[in-house]
Amino acid sequence: MRLLVFGQSGQVAQELARRLPQGISARFLGRDQADLSDPAACAAAIGDCDAVINAAAYTAVDKAQTDEAAALAVNATAPAAIAARCAALDIPFLHLSTDYVFDGAGTLPFAPNHPTGPQNAYGRTKLAGEKGIRAASERHLILRTSWVVSAHGSNFVKTMLRLGGTRDSLAVVADQIGGPTPGADIADALLVAAKAMVDGAHGGTHHFAGAPDVSWAGFARAIMAQAELACQITDISTSAYPTPAARPLNSRLDCSAFEAEFGVTRPDWRRGLSVILQELSA
């Protein structure tokens, strides 16, 4: 199976490059080869592959509040154009989306068919991308995930390690609950799904997130404990840590449909965290 992957330096793209099994090859397009701010150029770059994965996105959540047009081009217009080109070639298109398409209300996990209601510009642009993909191609997988972490790039684990190594205590939000998801596990899930879709699996809209669900503060404590850092974590509320973009309080995702369709269970983020820490220490 030959994959074309939009993205090269992001967390999931880097894990995809490292985790390709025998029998699967991939060509990775960085921003210099396929800039998602130019949707037509991205669509034109597709060819000679069995499936396309979009692992690139505009992910600066707070910046998107004042730069929504740029975020919309990358997160919505480009994925829709890529999906349309994949449809013309009759190949599957796999796309990563986010828990931010929901309003974050309640305490129950959001099912894939739950009504959406993004609270910020980033969520609106990602939701627009989902709608564009569905309209452009039947052979698609929209995989919503949450709280992505890895040894690459910027993410919560690396921030906590940096701050926890120099401070005695940190105040971390405790009323936002979700599933931290290692980028390596997302990469593995995409590879399984891509193979299945090339072989005829349906796809559709699915959820994939790490387990168990935890607060940011609880996640921070686990990071400190596994890294053997003495930094103490103090719980605070979201209202005590205002940000330009509103964050959902409930980011829990119901991943049962993805497991039923593709046989991939929710990964234990505690095990993934251990691997990430080992890689960073090395």
- φ, ψ at 175 (rounded to 5°): -110, 10
Mean pLDDT of all residues in the chain? Answer: 97
Banded pLDDT at 140 (limits 50, 70, 90): very high
Domain boundaries, the chain: 2-149+181-210+251-266
Q: pLDDT tens-digit profile of 2-56?
A: 999 999 999 999 999 999 999 999 999 998 898 899 999 999 999 899 999 999 9
pLDDT in tens, 89-126: 999 999 999 999 999 999 999 999 999 999 999 999 99
What are the pLDDT digits (tens) for 97-107? 999 999 999 99
Residues taking part in catalysis: 122
Whether domain 2-149+181-210+251-266 has CATH 3.40.50.720: yes
Per residue in 175-229, pLDDT (tens digit) is 999 999 999 999 999 999 999 999 999 999 999 999 999 999 999 999 999 999 9
Amino acid 143: pLDDT:
98
In angstroms, rounded to a whole number, what is the distance separating the alpha carbons of residues 229 and 224? 5
pTM of the model: 0.97
Give the Cα separation of 114 and 104 in Å (integer).
11
Q: Compute CA distances 124 → 45, 98, 121, 217, 252, whole Å.
A: 26, 11, 5, 26, 18
What is the C-alpha separation between 52 and 54, in angstroms, rounded? 7
Q: Are 55 and 10 in contact (CB under 8 A)?
A: yes
